[in-house]
Structure 1
């Protein structure tokens, strides 16, 4: 390309002509290859926008309207939600039968089989179950609370809908999480009034605790019934042992062979002690008094009477007839056997009675409790929805949507 400025022939060029020539030369120089056009991208974009009338419409539909709608909804329409949070752990109550050792009568009364981990998982599932929703609804008008006209239409629940729909709505408003390491449960309840949120939280905790105790009620009642039957058998066994012992006493003509012999031996021991004391007194008096003294004669007579009584008691113990000896010996043997059986029956009856009392106490008390770590308190202000955060997320999403729409449009038109 020729970029030289031609000379004016003959006469000098005027000023205006020179300016035109210089401008023409500069334009020719700017068109040389290798020099970038800085306004080419802007002109290309402007020409693309002018040639594609859908882009402004996509901008309005994909970015402006969603951003404006999100700002209006979260800024003006969305209802405030008040959150109540509680943290608690499930623990066995102190002194229950799950801490006791097995008893000696084999009734294992009231022993709690479920572990704390199992009860925690059961409670987590129960909080999102239909029985809990129905139990709370029987105590509190939760359908009316969540269906007030003052709540925005997107968050409001229609009270006329069935319980299955309300259960899904319940799972959006009530959340429970379990920390696997410690077993601590975190319960979060959202409502549109702080008092209602607090009341629902307390009702959920109370019904969950009641359910956990009802889980073991059947086993505890079965243990109580078994203990009652075993107690009745123990009473019958003790009564039979006492009846057999009384029958032996009446049939053999003795009230109590062991007690009779014991009383006789005790009487002989007392007689011997008395004779020993009198003999000592007699020896002391004989040093100072003569044998014809009245005191000496009286002491000798008392000693002689004691000797006669001792001989009589000894004869009573020894017996004179061999048949009587054998009868008493056989009666004593049978008496000892029956007495041993009666003692065993009494001991067994005491053990069974203790087991029955323990089972009865456990059946009447709660065996697990929800121990609060963070007590539920009334919310001072609403924490949901997070208006600025949600509006920012909607704006970012709208921008991504518009960029994707532009990219798709260019791919289609190119």
Structure 2
């Protein structure tokens, strides 16, 4: 049976490709001397029939022809054998044998498949270890082990006494404490519920260690009664949630326990402690306001006492009770004397034109005029001295008296306002300034709200999947970098 040359070439071509790959991996094959039957190369060599038109043109121009590099002996042998049909058929039907130093393609494919299989197996095992097993453990724990937790919810708001609209001192004092009832106090109460001081206060009323170590609790969430107070505070913070809504001013507290009765008692204790803290927040402020009002009243009283003493000393020194009235009466008397003196002088001047100077009537008028002038001088002299003759005039004495009298009047008014403020401050200190408006009181729970088993399992699965994906990306990145 004969074999066509095209079929021989098709079967030999894979062997030639393998030989070419071997030559490329082994390095450039050095050119050997041309075989005796191959034409010589050079500018004088005449192109043969195997030469192409390019080499014929180069030979005509006197340039050397471009010859292919000499074939390796094994290629020449294969090429020579391919010319014989029987030999080519034996070569094509012969089993494939790996050449020395050249890996088999099947071995390469098998190695790649093995590596990919190991990679897939490692990915599957890591997925089982990091995702499936934690999720399964979470499902078993939350489905069969985790104990039920009951919740009691409390909602209240912080309120204060309304401020009056007056502008007197009592209104000012009564309105100051209301500024304490703001968002700051609500935040303080919300944070105070989770502090150790509040836990100590609750522990003195209710045994928290016994409540949190209830036999109904599972081993994972049960509290150790022998643990220190720091562990109790941490467990309290895990079981109590307090949140303040700034937009509505509502403080929400949720207390968890392993029985409905325990959660109810803890929630009621939270209300009592929060209300006590709200009252304590203003105690110091109220005491400061009362103390401030008492101090102002004492200062006003001392000022009034000093004003009265100064006015009494002035009256004793000047010998007059009211210099203003004295000065007023002296001014009125002086004005009347001057009016009378002017009338007497006018009458005397009228009579002197018709009577003799020694006439009895003229002499009488002259005497009266002199007496009136003497009284005018006496009254004027009285206005020029200060009481018993300290050298100051009546105007200065009146000015000093008016200043002392004004100081006493102002001290009396200040003392009255201070006493009103003190009375209002004491009244405010006796009544509650800040209180809790509880509109959602605790109640006994009928069903457990924690733990949320589906949500907890989903969170655990999502977290495990995230960890696995992150680790997988890191490992693949490192592997690619090493390659």
TM-score normalized by the length of structure 1: 0.55
* Stretch moving more, 191-200 or 104-113: 104-113
Verify the 8 A CA contact 1:110 1:362 in the aligned structure 2: no
Is 1:74–2:146 an aligned residue pair? no
Verify the 8 A CA contact 1:109 1:356 in the aligned structure 2: no
Name the residue aligned to 2:156.
Answer: 88
Verify the 8 A CA contact 2:177 2:433 in the aligned structure 1: no
Give the drift of 1:200.
Answer: 1.7
Name the residue aligned to 1:194.
Answer: 260
Verify the 8 A CA contact 1:63 1:398 in the aligned structure 2: no
Give the drift of 1:209.
Answer: 3.5
2:205 corresponds to which of 119, 139, 152: 139
* Higher RCO, 1 vs 2 (CA within 8 Å, ≥6 residues apart): 1
Gaps of 5+ in 2: 1-112, 327-377, 389-393
2:414 corresponds to which of 348, 355, 360: 348
Verify the 8 A CA contact 1:176 1:185 in the aligned structure 2: yes
* Stretch moving more, 372-381 or 149-158: 372-381
Q: Pick the structure with greater CA Rg.
A: 2
- Secondary structure (helix, strand or coil) at the match of 2:151 reads strand
Give the drift of 1:362.
Answer: 3.9
Q: Which residues of 2 match residues 11-410 of structure 1 at below 5 A?
A: 63=132, 67=136, 70=138, 73-95=141-163, 103=169, 110-111=176-177, 114=180, 116-245=182-311, 322=379, 338-387=404-453, 390=456
Give the drift of 1:160.
Answer: 1.8
Give the drift of 1:257.
Answer: 8.8
Give the drift of 1:134.
Answer: 1.8
Give the drift of 1:103.
Answer: 3.5
Give the distance between the partners of 1:179 and 1:86, measured in 2 at CA. 13
Give the drift of 1:162.
Answer: 1.6
Relative to structure 1, is the Cα distance of residues 151 and 334 closer, same or farther in structure 2, using a 3 angstrom cutoff? same
Verify the 8 A CA contact 2:150 2:447 in the aligned structure 1: yes
Give the distance between the partners of 1:61 and 1:109, measured in 2 at CA. 63
Please tell me the root mean square deviation across aligned C-alpha atoms, in Å: 5.0
Name the residue aligned to 2:5.
Answer: none
Give the drift of 1:347.
Answer: 0.8
- Secondary structure (helix, strand or coil) at the match of 2:217 reads coil
Relative to structure 1, is the Cα distance of residues 183 and 107 closer, same or farther in structure 2, using a 3 angstrom cutoff? closer
Give the distance between the partners of 1:234 and 1:132, measured in 2 at CA. 44
Verify the 8 A CA contact 1:109 1:359 in the aligned structure 2: no
Cα shift readout 1:314-363 (whole Å, capped 9, x = no counterpart): xxxxxxx8499766989987766544333222210111112223333444
Give the distance between the partners of 1:164 and 1:365, measured in 2 at CA. 37
Verify the 8 A CA contact 2:315 2:321 in the aligned structure 1: yes
Relative to structure 1, is the Cα distance of residues 259 and 106 closer, same or farther in structure 2, using a 3 angstrom cutoff? farther
Give the drift of 1:189.
Answer: 1.0
Give the distance between the partners of 2:169 and 2:463, measured in 1 at CA. 71
Give the distance between the partners of 1:212 and 1:100, measured in 2 at CA. 26
Relative to structure 1, is the Cα distance of residues 56 and 126 closer, same or farther in structure 2, using a 3 angstrom cutoff? closer
Give the drift of 1:170.
Answer: 1.4
Verify the 8 A CA contact 2:153 2:255 in the aligned structure 1: yes
- Secondary structure (helix, strand or coil) at the match of 2:148 reads coil
Give the distance between the partners of 1:347 and 1:57, measured in 2 at CA. 89
TM-score normalized by the length of structure 2: 0.48
Count of equivalent residues: 297
Relative to structure 1, is the Cα distance of residues 122 and 102 closer, same or farther in structure 2, using a 3 angstrom cutoff? farther
Verify the 8 A CA contact 2:157 2:437 in the aligned structure 1: yes
- Secondary structure (helix, strand or coil) at the match of 1:377 reads coil
Relative to structure 1, is the Cα distance of residues 184 and 106 closer, same or farther in structure 2, using a 3 angstrom cutoff? closer
Name the residue aligned to 1:272.
Answer: none
Give the distance between the partners of 1:134 and 1:119, measured in 2 at CA. 21
* Stretch moving more, 323-332 or 242-251: 323-332
Name the residue aligned to 2:36.
Answer: none
Cα shift readout 1:257-312 (whole Å, capped 9, x = no counterpart): 9999xxxxxxxxxxxxxxxxxxxxxxxxxxxxxxxxxxxxxxxxxxxxxxxxxxxx
Name the residue aligned to 1:36.
Answer: none
